[in-house]
Structure 1
Amino acid sequence: MRTYLITLVGLLFVLFSYAAAYDPLDPNGNITIKWDVMSWTPDGYVAVVTMNNFQMYRHIMSPGWTLGWTWAKKEVIWTMIGAQATEQGDCSKFKGNIPHCCKKTPTVVDMLPGVPYNQQFTNCCKGGVLASWGQDPQSSVSAFQVSVGQAGTTNKTVKLPKNFTLLGPGPGYTCSPAKIVPPTKFFTADLRRKTQALMTWNVTCTYSQFVAQKHPKCCVSLSTFYNETITSCPSCACGCENKHKCIKSDSKLLSMVGVNTPRKDNAPLLQCTQHMCPVRIHWHVKLNYKEYWRVKITLTNFNYRVNYTQWTLVAQHPNLNNVTQVFSFDYKPLVPYQSISKFFEILHQYKS
């Protein structure tokens, strides 16, 4: 019964988040893309593009982020430092100096670690991996430099790119239109002088589990010290579309080269289970006294293509506000439980 309630709450949470485009567990969470025009060139400008992951608990893991947009005019990318376009496109009309990318809709990815020094830029070259601000602020930033041609050479002639898309990896993020904001200000190395960008615009991308996939990414099972019965994850808790593609744990296919390589579309390769979830979270009540209770949480990864090196588990429970001791991992409350209660109150009204 308790597992059913947990599953039901999770389902209602997903539906409510989609309807209101709001995550009560991370109300201010987003990825902000800042585009700073630093200098003008004969036919365009040089800009620094910075991505800040302001989400409290959601990382972008390997194979990393992919950023795309549509040029407003006939812009081309002459050069890039710290990132690269995945396709050059048709640059046949150019003679001599060939642009890095001529596509109307370029797709850009981060460079891998270990690239030559002259191709590196500050906060680049992490394979697109972007930590959450709540867990690792120093690793929550990614940046690259881009030289844009055929773009205009003044604030009035430069047109903002359109239709920004962010994959991280796989779908889930929806990006706002670019918006001109006050130019970013910078301090010089000696902190005695302040400079500023010639022009700045921002794009805000927010995450929706419903956009990412229609089924949950994990399920919850339950056991207790006073009962030998285990309440398993429900059958097909994460959907059974992949049931004919799953692999048994003893299959010889697992020895094939490249079978564990992550895919850019985030397509899973699951171990065959009754629940068919990429991750199972097992909640075992070890002690249950009047003064306190103790729980052991076990996470099991059934996705052969994803290695959760920087995993974060988000759980909501009224007693987690009074946690006294945590073993094996770090614990941090996201919001006061009153906010969660407010969420359920709003959800009840919404359902009514």
Structure 2
Amino acid sequence: MEMPHSALLLVLAATLSVAVAYDPLDPNGNITIKWDVMSWTPDGYVAMVTINNYQMYRHIMVPGWTVGWTWARSEVIWSMVGAQATEQGDCSRFKGNIPHCCKRTPAVVDLLPGAPYNQQIANCCRGGVVPAYGQDPAAAVSAFQVSVGQAGTTNRTVKLPKNFTLLGPGPGYTCGRAKVVPSTVFLTPDHRRKTQALMTWNVTCTYSQHLASKYPSCCVSFSSFYNETIIPCAKCSCGCEHKSCVRSERDSKRLAVTGKHARGHSGGAPAAALLQCTTHMCPVRVHWHVKLNYKEYWRAKITITNFNYRMNYTGWTLVAQHPNLDNITEVFSFDYKPIVAYGSINDTAMFYGLKYFNDQLMEAGPHGNVQSEVLMRKDAGTFTFRQGWAFPRKVYFNGDECQMPSPDAYPFLPNAAPAATSAAALVSSAVVVASLMFLIMA
């Protein structure tokens, strides 16, 4: 039986909605890999490869990027500066001068910090870690130089590599085809002369959380000064299938001593998660507490807790969407930048740690949390504590959308709610904070 045309469109739309990498809060976010052919060699060319992270709040974490591709013909990599291929491959057909890599499908990684000076190049050697563009635009780039042999030696004879792949700490990135673009123009160091690449092509890679993982990687819980109820993360927010967990830091250390603790985050492949046992089973929980109410302002407290004993989140980012975030007056112990996703609508904020203070979210344990408070001026037209208005609409941690509580479970406003800060409100807030500290350490 033939499927009706309208039904077929619905099926296709449902399928594409899972696979398409589109983030409404960062619609233009992508990672662009640019190849600039800088010079020709007797059997190929020398290219500068630049990886630009144009994602506003998603960075590439440890163990860093791995870029792969398939050569169009029988090209080889003679040498590299600022990066290296993970495998040399079969170079037995060469006599004397042996290439750096002979694989038809090379995989390339960044060099680690402290690499020999003669192997370094600008924007290399950070172990493949690349910050988000919105967090640090100047540092959101990584680069290496590659000398390619057995390739074309003119713009017409060079064949573009294909089947590009980009891996960070896990899957989720899909790369398009390489496309020839206008050659990049460079300025000489004295900024008095322009030079031009002999040939340039771009590859655009986008991230999809649906492709990266079946479940979210974080969840959100709520509380408020006007209601003693704490709304926890939903049960199994991040999935409870086939996941082991430990009940205390002592159990985590015991596993390390007995050799069951996988290699950590100091290098190499990412270690398998070792989570603290919780009902939500998420590596990260974000708690939003409506703390105080003033005449013209209100205050919220944000706490991020790490439940993974095998992961430090260095350079973490937190994004929240709320209509009153356009009136932020002060953020007390995080850095902050607004994100304008739709024209002039400024309802989204990106928070991140202060450098050398709390820009690293430590692994699970007594130090595995960071927190700050946000003071906002009330929007006279829309401000209310009713119907959960004071809680965020969306929350992202490190670029992944977190599982939110059900809207019907939000802390409700009592019939006789205080209009401004009172002793009763302060006492109630203190009770909630004490309860929160218990939850954080549990």
Structure 1 and Structure 2 fold alike (TM over 0.5): yes
How far is 1:256 from its partner? 5.8
How far is 1:20 from its partner? 5.2
Do 1:44 and 1:152's aligned partners in 2 also have CA atoms closer than 8 Å? yes
How far is 1:340 from its partner? 8.9
SS of aligned partner of 2:296: coil
Partner of 1:247: 246
How far is 1:227 from its partner? 2.8
Q: 1:280 is aligned with what amino acid?
A: R
Alpha-carbon separation, structure 2, partners of 1:314 and 1:200: 35
SS of aligned partner of 1:285: strand
How far is 1:217 from its partner? 1.1
Alpha-carbon separation, structure 1, partners of 2:190 and 2:73: 39
Do 2:37 and 2:199's aligned partners in 1 also have CA atoms closer than 8 Å? yes
Which structure ranks higher in relative contact order (CA pairs < 8 Å, sequence separation ≥ 6)? 1
In the TM superposition, what are the counterparts of 1:203-218 in structure 2 within 5 Å?
203-218=203-218
Partner of 1:272: 277
Q: Which moved more, 1:193-202 or 1:304-313?
A: 304-313
Render the CA deviation track for 1:199-242: whole Å, top value 9, x for unaligned: 10000111111111121111011112233321111110001124
Partner of 1:106: 106
Q: 1:300 is aligned with what amino acid?
A: T
Render the CA deviation track for 1:134-154: whole Å, top value 9, x for unaligned: 111121110000000101111
Render the CA deviation track for 1:313-352: whole Å, top value 9, x for unaligned: 01111111111111101121212677599xx9xxxxxxxx
Do 2:262 and 2:272's aligned partners in 1 also have CA atoms closer than 8 Å? no
Do 1:176 and 1:203's aligned partners in 2 also have CA atoms closer than 8 Å? yes
Larger CA Rg, structure 1 vs 2: 2
Do 1:222 and 1:284's aligned partners in 2 also have CA atoms closer than 8 Å? yes
Do 1:45 and 1:147's aligned partners in 2 also have CA atoms closer than 8 Å? yes
**Taking structure 2 as the reference length, what is the TM-score of the superposition?**
0.70
How far is 1:189 from its partner? 1.6
Identity, % of aligned positions: 74
Do 1:221 and 1:233's aligned partners in 2 also have CA atoms closer than 8 Å? yes
Partner of 2:195: 195
Partner of 2:324: 319
SS of aligned partner of 1:112: coil
Partner of 2:375: none
Alpha-carbon separation, structure 2, partners of 1:172 and 1:21: 9
How far is 1:255 from its partner? 4.5
Alpha-carbon separation, structure 2, partners of 1:52 and 1:256: 42
Unaligned runs of at least 5 residues, structure 2: 1-14, 348-392, 394-442
SS of aligned partner of 2:288: strand
Q: Structure 1 residue aligned with 2:288, among 275, 283, 292?
A: 283
- The two structures, once aligned, show a CA RMSD in angstroms of 2.2
In the TM superposition, what are the counterparts of 1:65-144 in structure 2 within 5 Å?
65-144=65-144
In the TM superposition, what are the counterparts of 1:8-87 in structure 2 within 5 Å?
18=18, 21-87=21-87
Render the CA deviation track for 1:117-142: whole Å, top value 9, x for unaligned: 11111110000000111111121110
Alpha-carbon separation, structure 2, partners of 1:85 and 1:165: 14
Do 1:24 and 1:339's aligned partners in 2 also have CA atoms closer than 8 Å? no
Unaligned runs of at least 5 residues, structure 1: 1-14, 345-352
Alpha-carbon separation, structure 2, partners of 1:323 and 1:256: 49
2:264 paired with 1:261 = yes
Q: Structure 1 residue aligned with 2:337, among 312, 328, 332?
A: 332
**Taking structure 1 as the reference length, what is the TM-score of the superposition?**
0.88
Query: Structure 1 residues 140 and 326 mapped into 2: Cα distance closer, same or farther (>3 Å)?
Result: same
Do 1:260 and 1:306's aligned partners in 2 also have CA atoms closer than 8 Å? no
